[in-house]
Amino acid sequence: MERVYIFDTTLRDGEQAPGFSMTTEEKLQMALQLARLGVDVIEAGFAAASKGDFEAVKLIAEEVKGPVICSLARALEKDIELAAQALEGAERKRIHTFIATSEIHMKYKLRLPPEEVLERAEKAVAFARRFTDDVEFSCEDATRSQREFLYRIIERAIKAGATVINIPDTVGYAVPEEFAQLIEDIRNNVPNIDKAIISVHCHDDLGMAVANSLMAIKHGARQVECTINGIGERAGNAALEEIVMALKVRKDFFGGLYTNINTKELYKTSRLLCRITGSFVPPNKAVVGDNAFAHESGIHQHGVLSNPLTYEIMSPEDVGFPSTRIVLGKHSGRHALKSKLKEMGYELSEEEIDKIFEKFKALADKKKEVYEEDLEAIIYEEVMKIEEEEPVKVLHYQVQTGDKLLPTATVVLSYMGEERTATSTGNGPVDAVIKAIQKALGIEPKLLDFSIKALTPNTDAQAESRLVIELDGIKSSGRGVDVDVIKASVQGFVDALNRAILRKNYILSRQRVREEGTV
């Protein structure tokens, strides 16, 4: 089996996309995660582009171990010298130099005749070899270049010392069959091509970056340049996660080709990039989107619950995704509802499930998704038929905080009618008050998820909190809304606590009834 090398350019080409700029520290954080992911090469930046880019490449070169650290450089000695300086501290380093090879670029951008472009490429590679044995050469806009010229410049670059030859589809112009043929033609017409690794770098202007990359790999490319979440110039680059999982899932088609990527880190890496850049991936994004392992259709849900392979060609665990998500909506069936109720801790008779299903369907027709709290309301109304008071009530709380104060909260609450008081500190005002509530109750549920968002754009907007906790093995969600972020958070936490306690009491009561032999 042959290996395909993963060259990640999230920090260079990816960052060049509008809205995706990162600070030096953010780039380092991302680079460390890319190393954990197992990429072979990290293109840390374009050292000559700015002082900030130089410092980022330098810091990553010094701090990140494992992958080859690379800097881009134009076919100019000053660019190559700066790249070499930035990479001095790298454990393993590569200089990636490039020049445009298409007629339109040579005429209108470079304003150079083809023969001078050939000379510049050759000299640039030879100069880069003074600093490292690992030199990559790229033919910018290769897919719109004349073939004979392309063959000549690749041959000259390899003779000058290039160890990797990159064939970029710079403007996303190629289609898969055509791009595959280009790789074949280069292999058949460049006499010394066996002395270098063929790399590809595809853009997604026509939505075919991943398909082009995969077809190039199928036809002999052994390095693929890509980015996390497919970010990059214009419509973006080929998405790393899609290429890696395509090779893994379809080993039969790709002849056993493999990468050294730790796929269980893919979801985590995607989410880290989103947090750093303030971006998000579409829900339907392959591999790492929120809906990648979500199912709402009753037929699909039934199949997945019976055997995930019916509708999932990879497991969520393979990419580090939390789990398959069964979304309850108007397309969901009885099987999915029953499974969800069991997951929530409710053991119900078929007659009780029938009642709940009827109410669930009526509600699902009115809203996009039915949440756990919606189901609990139906259960209390249709099955439990109890008017039990909420066990926990916050009577009063006070928080002291400031830029030079340790956040401290005091709460007075009622638990099952008994008044309790506690004080605690925290990392922030919300953390402090939640810890004080836990201290007063003598319980410490596990916080699984916490989010807060503004419902309107103004500074006096209402904040909505959503929390998911786990208490004694019982998962519960809660919601709070208020103009005060702290109050909204307290409401959400207490709401989740009360649901968990009531659910626990319900489960215990059902167990007692069974033990007494009346059910």
Binding site listing: 13, 201, 203, 237
SS3 for 485-497, per residue?
A: HHHHHHHHHHHHH
Q: Give the DSSP letter of residue 264.
A: G
Neighbouring residues of 317: CB distance < 8 A, sequence distance ≥ 6: 264, 323
Are 22 and 44 within 8 A, CB to CB?
no
Separation of alpha carbons 489 and 433, rounded Å: 9
Torsion angles phi and psi, residue 455, rounded to 5: -85, -20
Separation of alpha carbons 172 and 169, rounded Å: 5
Give start and end residues of each alpha helix (H) in 64-137.
77-86, 103-105, 114-128
Which residue has 């112009």 as its token pair?
Answer: 173
For 221, counting Cβ atoms within 10 Å of its Cβ (0-12 exposed, 13-18 middle, 19+ buried), the class is: buried
Going from the C-alpha of 428 to that of each of 50, 135, 413, 434, the distances in angstroms are 37, 49, 20, 10
Separation of alpha carbons 98 and 95, rounded Å: 10
Give start and end residues of each alpha helix (H) in 175-324.
176-189, 209-218, 240-249, 266-277, 298-306
Question: What token pair was written down for 255?
Answer: 């002849």
Are 496 and 468 within 8 A, CB to CB?
yes
Q: Give the DSSP letter of residue 66.
A: S
**Other Cβ atoms within 10 Å of 84 Cβ, number:** 19
Give start and end residues of each alpha helix (H) in 129-250.
147-160, 176-189, 209-218, 240-249
Give the three-class secondary structure for 291.
coil
Q: Which helix (H) or strand (E) holds 513?
A: helix 485-515
Separation of alpha carbons 86 and 83, rounded Å: 5
The letter for the amino acid at 375 is L
Give start and end residues of each alpha helix (H) in 195-323.
209-218, 240-249, 266-277, 298-306
Give which of 344, 289, 263 is closest to 6, Cα–Cα: 263
**Other Cβ atoms within 10 Å of 363 Cβ, number:** 16
Its sign, for the CA torsion 432, 434, 435, 440, is positive
Residue ranges of the binding site for Mn(2+): 13, 201, 203, 237
Strand order in the sheet with 418-425: 392-402, 405-415, 418-425
Which residue has 């995704």 as its token pair?
Answer: 321
Neighbouring residues of 504: CB distance < 8 A, sequence distance ≥ 6: 345, 471, 472, 474
